[in-house]
């Protein structure tokens, strides 16, 4: 068990998600990373691979959910918490609900696509058959720096 307060544990695991986001950045992907935790143990991890796989569903969250389901041997991921650097989009938020994730912890809000708080509240929608607890803002400044670096590189490449 990771010692410390809930906030310290959230920061610990979000740092692991941030490492995954850095791998995505190195591969030229939008730097989003995720880790899935159960009983304070790392079950799976993922990072964006849309460009590498030419797959619109290859988001960090989907990669981590798929790997976790393979490892656990069940699509139901009850008792799990997903840490992801960027607020999940509608597709990913829907997948979290469908996978029966207990909690999603994200770092940086996404005003353009966020479906946990920014644009929609899919994870906690009472009309759905499962609700996912949402915790936000963990390591947001560090994640913002990584996203800013990515978009700065894109702008520089477009000028060349």
Measured CA distances, 141 to 14, 32, 83, 93, 138 (Å)? 12, 14, 16, 22, 9
Residue 41 main-chain phi, psi, to 5 deg: -125, 140
Q: List active site positions.
A: 61
Phi-psi region of 40 (alpha: psi -120 to 50; beta: other; left: phi over 0): left
DSSP class of residue 128 equals S
């Amino acid at each position: 068990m990771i010692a410390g307060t809930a906030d310290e544990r959230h920061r610990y695991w979000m740092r692991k998600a941030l490492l995954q986001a850095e791998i995505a950045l190195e591969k030229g992907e939008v730097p989003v990373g995720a880790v899935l935790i159960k009983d304070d143990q790392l079950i799976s991890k993922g990072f964006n691979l849309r460009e590498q796989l030419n797959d619109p569903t290859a988001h960090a969250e989907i990669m981590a959910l798929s790997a976790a389901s393979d490892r656990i041997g069940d699509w139901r991921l009850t008792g799990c918490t997903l840490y992801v650097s960027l607020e999940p989009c509608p597709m990913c938020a829907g997948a979290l609900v469908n996978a029966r994730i207990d909690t999603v912890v994200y770092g940086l809000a996404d005003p353009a696509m966020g479906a946990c708080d920014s644009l929609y509240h899919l994870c906690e929608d009472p009309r759905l058959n499962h609700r996912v607890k949402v915790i936000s803002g963990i390591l947001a400044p560090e994640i913002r720096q990584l996203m800013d670096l990515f978009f700065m590189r894109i702008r520089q490449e477009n000028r060349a």
